């Protein structure tokens, strides 16, 4: 079957979006405390008011200002000195209330969060009174309602507090918990199968003989995918033989995965068997994208899952995972697929002699003028894994072949953006 070849970046994203149009993640109910970084699968309405009862916002004294306004004698001496005096009742703390409390003609010491006495209409702050033998003395009458948190002033029962398809942050974990909710409905973490390919690969910790190299990609990509909120199964590395690849892809066609990711073996080498095997056992949707690094990227379907074949060079697979698989994960979670982009000032000249979009590994920080500045992290060969460890962003160069001069305003994509929330 014919498939798209050597397409550009936005065409690749469009095809990924089309392939995902019908896909939906399951919904699961999880403890609220574990919901950070997940995406709400349904609206949540407040089951109760917060606070559930009027209470004090500060440490102080609850009083009934109506008494003063009537000019009752119980609050004597005001005529002479402009000073108010009250005796004290038993204190109210932030705890379960066993019996209703009234101020009457007294001031009730009250702590932050303490339930407001039934007849109180203001709190006077601790620092605004003077303690006397008889109680307290103060010069200024607080206005009605001061330092009181009315019932439902934060959240009202029935109000929508969480909208479906919204990512859940720590603050929302707090809101849901304040409503007494212990569980929340979220999209199930995308199930991802990750496999590296290559006869030369050896696992870190084992001996590495001549011609062999340590597998850097599986550990790196596993971490990246987990940060993106995926449930990752790392499969054993695949040898570069037709039998091995055919058998593994046949198994994967029956596995219940949302995404199947292979690394290596998608280029022009004799042992780059993945494109051919995907065409045989699944469907190739596109092969090769005019970007740098990551040109040989392969995309298609296998069984019920979407298949990404990433190039094996560490920088290429890291970059293509960020640029193409992250948008797919976002779409699965009903999020938009746009990557956060900021502007920064280039600290040095950058030469560009090709017409592909390029994602350079770069480092940004804040310059003396308070603006973001960015510098490329050394040699940009896709085999140079060290550039990844130094970098904190991609510097994005568009499809033009223009060099960029020092001081140019450029687009960067902070690595910190590649998480679910
Ligand atoms: P390939 O895409 O399979 O042609 O691999 C391109 C280059 O990346 C080769 O030099 C491979 O040895 C290297 N490579 C492939 N897979 C890995 C891996 N898992 N870890 C480190 N390097 C790799
Ligand atoms: Mg290989």
Residue-wise pLDDT for 97-150, tens only, equals 999 999 998 999 999 999 999 999 999 999 999 999 999 999 888 899 999 999
- Distance between CA atoms of residues 375 and 357, nearest Å: 18
> What average pLDDT does the chain have?
94
Residue-wise pLDDT for 120-134, tens only, equals 999 999 999 999 999
80 vs 248 pLDDT, higher one: 248
**How many A from CA of 227 to the centre of ligand 2?**
26
- Distance between CA atoms of residues 105 and 72, nearest Å: 9
Q: 419 pLDDT band (50/70/90 cuts)?
A: confident
What percentage of the chain carries pLDDT values higher than 70? Answer: 96
What integer pLDDT is reported at residue 235 of this predicted model? 98
Question: What is the torsion angle, in degrees rounded to the nearest 10, for the CA atoms of residue 72, residue 76, residue 78 and residue 83?
Answer: -130
Name the strand (E) or helix (H) holding 44.
strand 44-45
Mean pLDDT of all residues in 25-42 = 97
What integer pLDDT is reported at residue 22 of this predicted model? 87
- Distance between CA atoms of residues 56 and 212, nearest Å: 69
Q: To 5 degrees, how large is the angle CA 343–CA 349–CA 351?
A: 105
- Distance between CA atoms of residues 293 and 147, nearest Å: 59
Find the ligand nearest to 317 CA: 1
CATH 3.90.105.10 domain span(s) along the chain: 36-48+156-187
Top mutation candidate among 239, 295, 312, 385 for ligand 1, by most atoms within 8 Å of CB? 312
DSSP for 337-362?
-PPP-EEEEESS-B---SSSEEEEEE
CATH class of 55-149: mainly beta
- Provide CATH code, domain 4-26+188-332: 3.40.980.10
**How many A from CA of 340 to the centre of ligand 1?**
29
- Distance between CA atoms of residues 261 and 299, nearest Å: 10
Does the domain at 36-48+156-187 match CATH 3.10.450.50? Answer given as: no
- Distance between CA atoms of residues 154 and 384, nearest Å: 52
**Which residue's alpha carbon is at the smallest distance from atom 17 of ligand 1?**
312
Q: Is the pTM of this model over 0.85?
A: yes
**Which residue's alpha carbon is at the smallest distance from atom 5 of ligand 1?**
312
Two tokens at 88?
């004290």
Reference 92, options 103, 104, 75, 108; nearest CA is 108
Mean pLDDT of all residues in 4-9 = 97
Mean pLDDT of all residues in 240-250 = 98
Residue-wise pLDDT for 332-346, tens only, equals 999 999 999 999 999
**How many A from CA of 199 to the centre of ligand 1?**
10
Find the ligand nearest to 268 CA: 1
Cβ–Cβ contacts within 10 Å for residue 387, how many? 22
Mean pLDDT of all residues in 177-182 = 98
Helix/strand/coil for 322:
helix
Residue-wise pLDDT for 252-302, tens only, equals 999 999 999 999 999 999 999 999 999 999 999 999 999 999 999 999 999
Residue-wise pLDDT for 62-94, tens only, equals 999 887 765 544 454 444 446 788 999 999 999
CATH 2.40.340.10 domain span(s) along the chain: 342-414
What percentage of the chain carries pLDDT values higher than 90? Answer: 90
Find the ligand nearest to 213 CA: 1
Mean pLDDT of all residues in 244-259 = 97
What integer pLDDT is reported at residue 77 of this predicted model? 42
- Distance between CA atoms of residues 420 and 17, nearest Å: 17
Minimum mean pLDDT among 52-56, 140-144, 294-298, 321-325: which range?
A: 140-144
Q: Quote the CATH superfamily of domain 342-414.
A: MoeA, C-terminal, domain IV (2.40.340.10)
């Amino acid at each position: 079957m014919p498939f798209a070849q050597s397409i550009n970046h936005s065409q690749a994203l469009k095809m990924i979006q089309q392939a995902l149009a019908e896909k939906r993640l399951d919904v699961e109910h999880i403890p609220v405390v574990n919901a950070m970084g997940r995406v709400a699968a349904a609206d949540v309405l407040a089951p109760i008011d917060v606070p559930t009862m009027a209470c004090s916002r500060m440490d102080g004294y609850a009083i009934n200002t109506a008494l003063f306004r009537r000019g009752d004698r119980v609050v004597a001496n005001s005529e002479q000195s402009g000073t108010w005096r009250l005796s004290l009742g038993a204190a109210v703390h932030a705890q379960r209330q066993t019996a209703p409390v009234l101020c009457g003609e007294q001031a009730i010491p009250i702590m932050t969060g303490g339930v407001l006495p039934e007849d109180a209409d203001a709190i006077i702050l601790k620092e605004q009174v003077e303690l006397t033998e008889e109680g307290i003395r103060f010069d200024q009458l607080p206005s009605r309602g001061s330092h009181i948190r009315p019932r439902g002033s934060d959240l009202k029962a029935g109000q929508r507090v969480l909208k479906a398809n919204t990512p859940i942050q720590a603050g929302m974990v707090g809101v849901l918990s304040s409503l007494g909710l212990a569980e929340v409905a979220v999209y199930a973490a995308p199930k991802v199968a990750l496999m590296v390919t290559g006869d030369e690969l050896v696992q870190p910790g084992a001996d590495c003989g001549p011609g062999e190299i340590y597998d850097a990609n599986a550990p790196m990509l596993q971490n990246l995918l987990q940060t993106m909120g995926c449930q990752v199964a790392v499969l054993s590395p695949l040898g570069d033989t037709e039998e091995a690849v055919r058998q593994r892809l046949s198994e994967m066609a029956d596995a219940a995965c949302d995404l199947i990711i292979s690394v290596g073996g998608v280029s022009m080498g004799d042992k780059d068997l993945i494109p051919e095997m995907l065409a045989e056992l699944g469907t190739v949707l596109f092969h090769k994208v005019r970007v740098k690094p990551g040109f040989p990227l392969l995309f298609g379907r296998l069984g019920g899952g979407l298949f990404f074949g990433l190039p094996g060079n560490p920088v290429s697979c890291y970059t293509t995972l960020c640029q193409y698989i992250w948008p797919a994960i976002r779409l699965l979670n009903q999020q938009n697929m746009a990557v956060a982009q900021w502007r920064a000032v280039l600290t040095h000249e950058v030469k560009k002699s090709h017409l592909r979009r390029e994602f350079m590994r770069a480092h940004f920080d804040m310059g003396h003028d308070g603006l973001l500045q960015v510098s490329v992290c050394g040699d940009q060969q896709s085999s140079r894994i060290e550039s990844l460890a130094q970098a904190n962003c991609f510097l994005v160069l568009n499809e033009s072949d223009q060099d960029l001069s020092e001081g140019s305003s450029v687009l960067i994509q902070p690595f910190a953006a590649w998480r679910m929330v």
